[in-house]
């Protein structure tokens, strides 16, 4: 506010009031976010330290870090963390990110009808509701599904992919569903790269790959960092797709943290424990975001 | 002679051969690019085949088979009040209400964020960006607890309020970006004529950014329409469930029996999202510019 006063040259108090007045339209949004997003997060922090159960609200006791101790010593929880990291790294950071970039780059030099068809199909997969996408992949990977039919025709033995490789199956389904977002972000970013710079690099004798890695990608690094943050966080919280495909099974082999938290809270009625796990998931998301925001910030200071 | 060719010559000295060779590789390159794109698209289409073929096949199983004969039986079987109409109506009420509320709050919030400088602006925008990706799934367990205590569980009001909140961060973000592209000079004229900020927003800024706002609204609606987990946790009575949840209960109830009907129902339920996307598609890419997004 001090800087505002100096700029406007008006007395401090009226400037403060003006700033308040100007910020007023933020009110409804801030209230909603505080009550329904901030509230649950605070409640999450509180409930994670209690033995709250789903049945019978009487007698909620403060149990300290017991829920967290229980989580960190439970092998199921450890496995859920590993599955979550696998799912996030394979389907978001590698799959959606790289495939999205490849599509965006290919789109730039493909011919118009191909481009239109491909983007309609890829975005179509993204627009489909997550439960429907889950069912599609359930049938595609099942024992009688198309994948097995294709593999059988080239002599590969058929199997139920949802039983043999459940976590990989849901990860690939998530790549299929989510790549469109990265593709749209990268297409928009690439269209902002001035063509003169790329042309100049080509004239100077840089090959296609050299131009890509030394010119194009560095120029859109901010979009890459922002996109990585958003898709990582989105993927950490995928629930409907996995629930529709495997329900976290078989024998918890595709149970990521959201599924684990849901089961503990609602199937086993341990609201406190489920909340503690949800809080850990929230923290993992927070750490990823801080990491990406940090990159963006470093960028800003050095450039 | 040979060395002359190998050394990358400055374009000025070799004007004639350079463009011709360039065009030749470009043509080969274009063919390869198109082929690669078509292969990727084929991989995308194969999982979709089942739902389209099974929906028109009265005896559909889990395997892909050509419908013989093509029939609309599956559709007529699911097109009744209980299975399709009521859940779809519920979905429209929930997602439509939540979209309206989201847009109202987002436009109001975007205005000061786009128009005024303040030292709170950058931290606020970063918080919004952070919230756009917050794993909503993680807070559903505490939200359930909170809703039980506030007596909001199994109510439309509560669910709409919460759904709006989940959509709000990205809606504010996109609205602010679209509003930034409306030049402030247009408003300054109105200000000198004595119009208030809100009048200027309503009469000048909003009409100019209508295309952008429709992108945000459709994007919000499509996202909410596909959202399964929020209504799954917050709503309980059968006759209040939206399509996203009822398709799941429908499948669990009749699993292994009527795949054709499930496929037909999946198509009906996906239809609004796909149709709205078609309206949206031409304008969509502009919404995803994150380039200078957290600057200033």
Search chain B and give the residue with CA nearest A103. Answer: B37
Are residues A39 and A107 both part of a single domain? no
Mean pLDDT of B2-23: 39
The yes-or-no verdict on residue B103 having pLDDT over 90 is yes
| B160 part of a folded domain | yes
Residues of chain A contacting B54 with CB distance shorter than 8 Å: 139
Which of the pair, B106 or A302, is modelled with greater confidence? B106
Are residues B134 and B224 both part of a single domain? yes
Are residues A164 and A245 both part of a single domain? yes
The yes-or-no verdict on residue A37 having pLDDT over 60 is yes
Search chain B and give the residue with CA nearest A34. Answer: B165
Which of the pair, B96 or A206, is modelled with greater confidence? B96
Query: Are A106 and B130 an interchain contact pair (Cβ–Cβ within 8 Å)?
Result: no
Are residues A31 and A174 both part of a single domain? no
Question: Tell me, what's the pLDDT at B8?
Answer: 37
B120, B126, B133: best mutation site toward chain A, by most A Cβ within 10 Å? B133
Give the pLDDT band of residue B18 (cuts 50, 70, 90). very low
Are residues B119 and B253 both part of a single domain? yes
Mean pLDDT of B180-185: 80
Which three-class secondary structure state does DSSP give residue A145? coil
B213 contacts: CB under 8 Å, gap ≥ 6: B103, B107, B175, B178, B206
Mean pLDDT of B126-146: 78
Gap between the Cα atoms of B215 and B221, Å rounded:
10
Question: Tell me, what's the pLDDT at B170?
Answer: 86
Q: What's the complex ipTM?
A: 0.76
Range of the domain at B240: 74-288
The yes-or-no verdict on residue B148 having pLDDT over 90 is no
Gap between the Cα atoms of B270 and A128, Å rounded:
6
The yes-or-no verdict on residue B61 having pLDDT over 50 is yes
pLDDT tens per residue across span B72-96: 878 887 788 877 888 889 989 999 9
Are residues B86 and B171 both part of a single domain? yes
Least confident of A193-207, B62-76, B158-172: B62-76
Are residues B113 and B199 both part of a single domain? yes
**Average pLDDT over chain B, rounded to an integer:** 78
Are residues A13 and A89 both part of a single domain? no
Which three-class secondary structure state does DSSP give residue A50? strand
Range of the domain at A195: 66-302
Are residues A256 and A189 both part of a single domain? yes
Which three-class secondary structure state does DSSP give residue A62? strand
Least confident of A183-197, B28-42, B131-145, B276-290: B276-290
Q: How many domains in chain A?
A: 2
Which three-class secondary structure state does DSSP give residue A253? coil
pLDDT tens per residue across span A244-299: 888 877 877 888 888 888 888 888 878 788 888 888 888 888 888 788 777 777 66
| A189 part of a folded domain | yes
Nearest by Cα to A177 from A147, A208, A218, A132: A132
Gap between the Cα atoms of A87 and A96, Å rounded:
12
Are residues B133 and B174 both part of a single domain? yes
Are residues B18 and B125 both part of a single domain? no
Are residues B202 and B284 both part of a single domain? yes
Question: Tell me, what's the pLDDT at A2?
Answer: 34
| A52 part of a folded domain | no
- Rg of chain A over all Cα atoms, to the nearest angstrom: 24
Are residues A157 and A289 both part of a single domain? yes
Are residues B45 and B119 both part of a single domain? no
Are residues B98 and B10 both part of a single domain? no
Least confident of A33-47, A258-272, B19-33, B117-131: B19-33
Are residues B132 and B262 both part of a single domain? yes
Q: How many domains in chain B?
A: 2
- Could you tell me if B125 lies within 8 Å of chain A, comparing CB atoms? no
**Among candidates A43, A205, A257 on the partner chain, residue whose Cβ is nearest the Cβ of B8:** A205
Question: Tell me, what's the pLDDT at A7?
Answer: 38
Are residues A95 and A208 both part of a single domain? yes
Are residues B83 and B18 both part of a single domain? no
Are residues B94 and B36 both part of a single domain? no
Query: Are B172 and A30 an interchain contact pair (Cβ–Cβ within 8 Å)?
Result: no
The yes-or-no verdict on residue B294 having pLDDT over 50 is no
pLDDT tens per residue across span A169-188: 899 999 999 898 888 888 88
| A53 part of a folded domain | no
Are residues A276 and A141 both part of a single domain? yes
Gap between the Cα atoms of B10 and B18, Å rounded:
10
pLDDT tens per residue across span A4-33: 333 333 344 456 677 777 778 888 889 999
**Average pLDDT over chain A, rounded to an integer:** 81
Question: Tell me, what's the pLDDT at B277?
Answer: 79
Question: Tell me, what's the pLDDT at B14?
Answer: 36
pLDDT tens per residue across span A76-120: 899 999 999 999 999 999 999 999 999 988 888 888 888 888 888
Give the pLDDT band of residue A204 (cuts 50, 70, 90). confident
């Amino acid at each position: 506010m001090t800087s505002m006063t100096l700029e406007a040259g008006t007395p401090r108090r009226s400037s403060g009031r003006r700033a308040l007045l100007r910020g007023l339209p933020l009110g409804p949004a801030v209230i909603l976010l505080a009550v329904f997003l901030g509230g649950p997060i605070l409640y999450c922090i509180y409930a994670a330290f209690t033995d709250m159960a789903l049945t019978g609200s009487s007698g909620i006791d403060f149990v300290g870090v017991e829920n967290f101790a229980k989580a960190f010593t439970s092998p199921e929880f450890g496995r859920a963390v590993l599955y979550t990291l696998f799912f996030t790294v394979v389907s978001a950071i590698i799959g959606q990110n790289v495939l999205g970039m490849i599509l965006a780059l290919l789109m730039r030099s493909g011919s118009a009808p191909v481009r239109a068809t491909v983007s309609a199909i890829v975005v179509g997969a993204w627009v489909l509701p997550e439960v429907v996408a889950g069912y599609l992949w359930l049938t595609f990977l099942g024992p009688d599904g198309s994948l097995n039919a294709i593999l059988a025709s080239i002599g590969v033995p058929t199997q139920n992919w949802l039983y043999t490789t459940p976590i990989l199956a849901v990860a690939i389904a998530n790549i299929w569903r989510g790549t469109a977002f990265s593709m749209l972000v990268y297409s928009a970013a690439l269209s902002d790269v001035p063509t003169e710079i790329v042309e100049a690099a080509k004239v100077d004798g840089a090959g296609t790959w050299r131009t890509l890695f030394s010119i194009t990608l560095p120029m859109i690094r901010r979009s890459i960092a922002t996109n990585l943050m958003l898709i990582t966080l989105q993927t950490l919280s995928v629930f409907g797709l996995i629930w529709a495909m495997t329900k976290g099974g078989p024998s918890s082999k595709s149970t990521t943290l959201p599924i684990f938290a849901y089961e503990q809270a609602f199937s086993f009625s341990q609201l406190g424990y489920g909340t503690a796990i949800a809080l850990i998931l929230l923290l993992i998301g927070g750490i990823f975001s801080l990491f990406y925001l940090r990159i963006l910030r470093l960028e800003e200071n050095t450039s | 002679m040979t060395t002359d060719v190998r050394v990358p010559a400055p374009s000025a000295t070799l004007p004639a051969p350079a463009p011709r060779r360039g065009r030749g590789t470009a043509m080969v390159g274009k063919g390869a690019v198109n082929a690669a794109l078509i292969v990727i698209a084929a991989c995308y289409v194969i999982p979709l085949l089942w739902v389209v073929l099974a929906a028109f096949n009265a005896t559909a199983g889990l395997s892909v088979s050509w419908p013989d004969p093509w029939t609309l039986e599956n559709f007529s079987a699911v097109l009744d009040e209980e299975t399709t109409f009521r859940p779809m109506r519920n979905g429209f009420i929930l997602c439509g209400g939540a979209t309206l509320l989201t847009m109202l709050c987002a436009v109001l919030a975007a205005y000061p964020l786009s128009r005024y400088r303040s030292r709170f602006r950058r931290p606020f925008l970063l918080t919004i960006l952070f919230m756009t990706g917050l794993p909503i799934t993680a807070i559903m367990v505490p939200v359930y607890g909170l809703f039980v205590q506030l007596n909001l569980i199994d109510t439309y009001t509560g669910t709409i309020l919460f759904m709006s909140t989940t959509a709000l961060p990205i809606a504010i973000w996109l609205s602010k970006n679209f509003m930034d592209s409306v030049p402030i000079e247009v408003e300054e004229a109105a200000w000198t004529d004595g119009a208030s900020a809100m009048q200027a927003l309503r009469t000048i800024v909003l009409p100019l950014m209508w295309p952008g706002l429709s992108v945000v609204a459709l994007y919000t609606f499509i996202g909410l329409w596909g959202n399964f987990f929020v209504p799954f946790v917050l709503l309980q009575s059968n006759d209040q469930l939206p399509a996203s949840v009822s398709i799941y209960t429908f499948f669990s109830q009749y699993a292994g029996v009527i795949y054709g009907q499930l496929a037909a129902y999946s198509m009906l339920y996906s239809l609004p999202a796909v149709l709205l996307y078609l309206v949206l598609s031409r304008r969509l890419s502009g919404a995803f510019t994150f380039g200078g997004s957290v600057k200033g």
